[in-house]
Structure formats: structure tokens, C-alpha cells
Structure 1
Amino acid sequence: VVAEMDVDFRTEKVEIFNEVWQAQNLGFYDPKFHGTDWKKVHEQYEPLANGASTPEELRRLLNLMVGELNASHSGVSGPAAGAGFVTGKTGLRFNSKEYETNGNFKIDEVINLSPASLMGNIKTGEYLIAIDDKKLEVSDNIDLLLANKIGKRVALTIASSPSGGSSRKVFISPVSLATEKGLLYKQWVNQQREYVSKISNGQLGYVHMLDMSEGSLNQLYLDMDAENHSRKGVVVDIRNNNGGFVNPYALDVISRKNYLTMTGRGMPSAPARVQLGQRALDAPTILLINQHSLSDAEDFTEGYRALGLGKVVGEPTAGWIVFTSSVQLIDGSAVRLPFSRIDDHEGKNMELVPRKVDIPVTLQLGEGPAKDSQLDVAVKELLGQLDKPTTRKGE
């Protein structure tokens, strides 16, 4: 069944305004509204909303209104957009200076495990000359040329020089933007892991959590099992982690200590937890955070410090610490609703209060995979802890 409906925006915008205001009025976690006179805000913004001429203008006003609460996890978003065209990604990245100066697509990077990488014969320093026999000009948009090409056979013409010398065709099957972003992230993590191993002479392991989702938790388990049980200590990195809900589970595996050892006849000894299928790192750690560690990553930081698991290095977090939900509005848009207060172990509200670091380190402009001053300090500090003698109770 297909139906059409005409909507009177003059009537609809009044209803949407009231829905947003009332959602916060009844559900905002702080009954004092962070010191804001919420009824006065209604009086101030109602005539402005009535004057909005488009849904986009109305949403801008509603975001300003919600912003009066000065809370994180807030805002009004529009209805879900249509799919539009989908661009295929090759895994090639180009030298911006060469393009801006000479208009050539010089290959600067081949993302590991990307379609271009899997062919094995595309090298950095070479040039992309054509796509499906369409010779590239400086005005060409590669995204448009690869529109709706995901999973399809595409011919790339690769040459050793911009003039097309020694050119050859390479056939690939482009992937989605999300897939390419995932490959870039995995490549970055591997670079960080190799960096930590190198500067610690193989003594330390490294794990990074992209967010606090179930998928990232499962990846943490895999990384602990595959990469870090043989290390003397582990750098735990949650920089740029935008939150989620699994902080207690991640803290659990890091905080568990072994207390029994099992040894079968003729077999090597192993911690009982591991033998019985329970993950336990049982190694010293150090935590890396920055101002882009948000929400549940900040809960993780609070727990890490409260449990005395190790030192925290980097920059204070954002202070976006409140549980949130969303309320759908009549036009399909939605307003986020901070509804649950989070207190630290001392009973203090964590919202708008960044989690502190023990050792402050700010990344310098231009630092990249080859140099990370925050990692340098974290590794040095953790190695220093390993060098200190430890005593057991009763000794």
C-alpha cells in the first residue's frame, strides 16, 4: 500500500517544538536543569520556532534551545536520509602536493588488505592514470567515477610516470567506505603495536579500543589472547574512544589476578583461570587517554583509577559523562535525552568533569605513526615499573 500525505509545516513545527521541550522537561536527569530556568527558555524560544521557515532552520533553533542546558549527549537530528549513490573505495591514497601542483594522481599509500593491496603489484610512487579506460584529468572526481562500483570489476591503469610510461591494467573489486575505514584503523593499530614493541625491545604489548561496544570488547579479548599474554606489561590505549556501554567488562579482564597454577603430567604449567577458560591478563598495565576519550571511555578511566590498576597518561578526557537515550519526534527526527546521572566512587557527579591524568603529555603538531610522544612516555613509565622490585605479603 502506497499513500501520500500533505503536512502543514506551520502546525507541525509547533508540535515538534513542544515535543522537544517536554522531553527534556520530563526526562532530563537533573531536575534543576543545570541551573537553567527551563520554563523561561520555553518562553524565549517558542516565538523563534514559530518563525522558522524550514525544518532545517527549526532544528538549528531547537539545538540552540537544548544547548541552554549545557549538557553532553544532547541535540536534535533530522530524519534518516535516503541511501543516495554509494562510492567504491580502492584502498589507494594520493599525494596531495603532487595533485595540487601538477594535477597527477601519485600513489602515496596502499592500505593494507585493501583491494589494491591484495593485487600485490601496486606500489607507492606509481601513478593512477585511468579508471575503466577513462583517462584521469585534473578536474575528475574519483568518487564519482567509482560510484555504485562496490563489489564490481574495475580496471585501474597504473604507470610508473604521469605520462603513462610502462602502464598496465590492474583489476580490482572496490569495497565500501566503512570497510576501507576499518582497514585503515586496523593498519593504524598494527603500526602502534609494532611501535610499542620496538621501543620496549619486545617487552610490552599494546591494545586499543575504538569504542566501548560489544564488537570492540570481543576484539580486546582476541588481542589479549593473541598478542599480549607473553608480554611483561601492556599499554591500554583508549584515545579517541567515543564510548558505549562495556567498560565494566573491559576493566574486569584487565583487573583479574591469577591465584592458582595448574600443571598436568608432562605438560607446562599454566594459570588456572586461563586453563579453565577465563580470561585474565595478570600483567602490569598503563592507560592512555586524550580529550577525545568520551562517555563510557571516561567511565573506564574512572574505574581504572579507582581500582588502582595503574597510571593514566595523556590528556584529560572530555567530561561527557551521562547516560542517554533518544525520543523520536513526529516528523521522524529525534532528540537525545540525557536521563541518568553518573557519580564517581566518591559520589560526585561526573558530567562536565573531565577525568584527570597522572602524567600529562600533549601530542605535538605533526606527530604520526613514526613518533608518538604519549606512547613514548607510557612505555618509559611502564618499563620503569617493571624494573622496580616487588614484594609479596608476608615477606
Structure 2
Amino acid sequence: MGLALIAAPAFAADSAAATGPDRERARMNQRVFDRVWTEVRSQYYDPELHGVDWNAARRTWRPIALNAPDDRILYRAIGDMLDLLDDDHAGASPPAVARRQDTLRQRRAAIGVSLRPDPSGEAWVIEQVRPGSPAAEAGITEGWRLITGEGAPWTPEQDIAEGQAVTLALVDDEGVPRPLTLTPRMMDPTPAFVADRSRPGVLVLTVDGFEAGLGRWMGEQLAGLAPETDVVIDLRGNPGGRLMEADAVLSCFLPRDRLWAARTGRSGRRVELRTGGGCGDLAGPVGNEVAVLVDANSRSAAELTPAALQEARRAVVVGTPTAGAVLISQETRLPDGGRLSLSRADFVTSGGVRLEKRGVTPDLAAPLTPEDRRAGRDPGLEAAVAALAGTQAEAAMAVRAVPTL
């Protein structure tokens, strides 16, 4: 059933009415909004749009978007309209955010935080703080919130530049306001993939995103690995990325042509996903014991991968339940340089499980508390290493129990 009435929020209407846009701004607002609305109507994986009356949504949100004086109000209106789909993959990034995403692996001006939207719509949650960054030096930690409601001094819709101070309306993890002024500085990019061999008998592969080259890189790390070495794949905070790289990672551990998922697009046609290789120059999948670390910020490909390994009984999954945001999406550039992300296909695992709004439930729960974070502890990694050590110990005991004939 379609929505008969969609109420527009007072904040957007009031703000837009107070300072209307000039003619050029209004024209660009129209182009951006109409592109988003049309793309959803014609390309969204569910032709029924989950029962949302998309024409009513247009009548409600288009006037607000066209009258937006800045990117904050324009993209807030677009985002609220997309929220009607109840789909975590349906979202629009303003030009400043898109520019930061495009330069993620480049040297650039930064304050050193990674953000995700707060469900309230009035704030962003700090997911990560980069060591040695202005944010870290100011004492900001994961779990703080950046307030971005009306009157906020800086919001993610704005660019930052080297040496130009920005004031952040922050609230710490105990709810105490902590307004801070930080000066961005040029910082080298962090690597997308990191291999840690500091623990004897354990290889920890941290993957920040399913970016180009991941499968090949993972194959290089696994090549020649001693059979007794345990492998931990850390996907915590990983937003996902390329589906072909998820397949490449699975090819490192599962036989070729192994069914691991199926997707269904707008036409209703089902397409099976089978491992197709791509794990570097490995002759075949490795046989090492494997654990995968996940948390509530593991999304998309970072959920599909542990789900496939879990169903194949190839890995133990450790951490906290994942986000449940696994619809297969594609991105479209918008006329102002922003970006639209839109789900183009539904997804089920090889076992027929639909992970959307459900996520992956770990085999072993290992939550990270604020106290752990402040103390520098990592209970998830410790639990993963212990679980793998226990698996090998049990196997060794079983071998010793077999009598010699």
C-alpha cells in the first residue's frame, strides 16, 4: 500500500524559507533532486519501492530541495526522502563527502576521524580516530558524536582545507558536550589492507574496505603460509565495496565454482554467485584455520564474506552482529558532483538466508566496551586467536587418541 501522506519536517521548510537560494543554486537543486527521484523510480531493485508512494514523496520533498540554500539542507531533504525506502544502501552523498571518498587513498588535508550517520539525523557517530591526527591529539575517541543539526558550526557537507580551523560540536560517550576547534593538516593515506605477523603462529589481515586488488593482495599474504599458522581476517568497521573482491577473498578459502550466494534484480531473474578465483597466484584454496572478526559497522561485502565462510563451515565468526545492510548497490554521479548509492539487487546466501535487516550472527560473541577501548584492549582479536588455538588443540588431541595398528 502506498503512503497517502508524507509529512515534511519543519526544520527544512523553516531553514529554506529563511534564506532562499539564488537562481543558479535553485536550478542545480532541481537537477540533483530530479536525478535522484527518477533514478529510484526506474532503477531500484524493487519496482514496487516497498509500497512507498513515490509521487507523493516527490510532492513533499521537491519544494524543500529546490528551495535549499546549501548542500546541508538539500541533501538532508534527499536523504529523508530516501529513508522512506528503509534501505541502508539508499543514500546520497553531497559533493564535499564524495570528494573526500575519492581521495581516501591519497595524501590530503584531514582531521583524522571516520563518521557514520546517527539514526537521529541530527548527528554523526565517530567510528574511528586515526592515531597521530589532530582529532587524536585533541582527545577525541570512538563513540563520540558530532552534532550537525541547525546552527552546527561545521557539518560533513562542508570541505576542509589545510590550516583552516574548523569548530566541531562534539558530545563524548558519556553525553558531555565537548566543543573543539581543530586545524586540518596534510596526512598520508592509510593503507586499505594491513598484514600483521607480530603474533607467533597467527597472521592477522585487516581489511578496511573491499577495494580493488584485495583478492590479489590476500593471495600474496597467504602464499607459502605454513599450514599450522592461523589466519584472522579483521572486517570490523568495514563498509564493504566491490562484490568481485568479496568473491576473490572467498576463493582464497573455498573451492572454485562453489555456490556462495544468489542475487535477484529488478527483473526478478535469479543469478547464482560462485567462486571464480582471483586470489593471486595460489594454486588452490589454503587449508589454514580461519577466524573472521565483525562488528555492527561491518556492512555489505563485509557481511557477505563471513556469512559465506560461516555457512561453508570454513571459518569461525567472532565479534558482534553485523549491520544487516547487504543489498547489492551501485553508485551514480549527480550533476553537482555528489553521489547516489542505490540498491540494484536483493541477496540471499547459498543456504537461502536473507541477511538484509538481519546481519550475520557471530559464532562467538566478543563485544568491545568503552572501557576496553580506553584501556587499549581488543577482546575480539583475543577471542579469535584463542578460538583458533582451541580448534587446533582439539584436532591434535583427536589425532593422538587414534591407536596405532
Please give the TM-score of this superposition, normalised by the length of structure 1: 0.61
Tell me the number of residue pairs that the alignment of Structure 1 and Structure 2 aligns.
286
Q: Deviations over 1:2-51 (max 9, x none)?
A: xxxx9644444334322211111111112232342322222222332343
CA distance in 2, matches of 1:43, 1:98: 47
Measure how far apart 1:82 and its partner are: 8.2
Report the counterpart of residue 41 of structure 1 in structure 2. Answer: 57
Equivalent residues in 2 for 1:1-395 (5 A)? 8-79=24-95, 87=109, 93=132, 144=163, 177-179=187-189, 181-182=190-191, 186=194, 190=196, 193-194=197-198, 197=199, 202-225=200-223, 228-229=225-226, 231-244=228-241, 245=243, 246-256=245-255, 278-367=283-372, 371-389=377-395, 390=398
Decide whether aligned partners of structure 1 residues 70 and 95 sit closer, same or farther in structure 2, where only a CA change above 3 A counts.
closer
Preserved CA contact (<8 Å) 1:364 1:373: no
What is the DSSP-based 3-state SS (H/G/I as helix, E as strand, rest coil) of the residue aligned with 2:306?
helix
**Which protein shows a greater Rg?**
1
Q: Do the aligned partners of 2:290 and 2:388 also contact (CA within 8 Å) in 1?
A: yes
Query: CA-to-partner distance for each residue in 1:150-175, whole Å, 9 max, x for gaps?
Result: xxxxxxxxxxxxxxxxxxxxxxxxx9
Give the AA of the match of 1:380.
A
- Which residue in 2 is equivalent to 1:163? none
Answer yes or no: is the 8 Å Cα contact 2:289–2:315 preserved in 1. yes
Per the alignment, in what secondary structure is the counterpart of residue 236 of structure 2? coil
Amino acid at match of 2:49: F
Q: Report the residue type matching 2:187 in the other structure.
A: L
RMSD, matched Cα: 3.9
Deviation of the 1:52 alpha carbon: 2.7
Q: 1:333 to 1:378 in 2, by over 3 A?
A: closer
Question: Secondary structure of 1:342's match?
Answer: strand
Please say if residues 255 and 282 of structure 1, whose CA atoms lie closer than 8 Å, have aligned partners that are also in contact.
Answer: no
| Unpaired segments ≥5 residues, structure 2 | 1-21, 112-129, 140-161, 165-184, 257-280
Over residues 332-375 of structure 1, what are the superposed CA-to-partner deviations in whole Å (9 max), with x where a residue is unaligned? 43322211111222434332221111111101224369632112
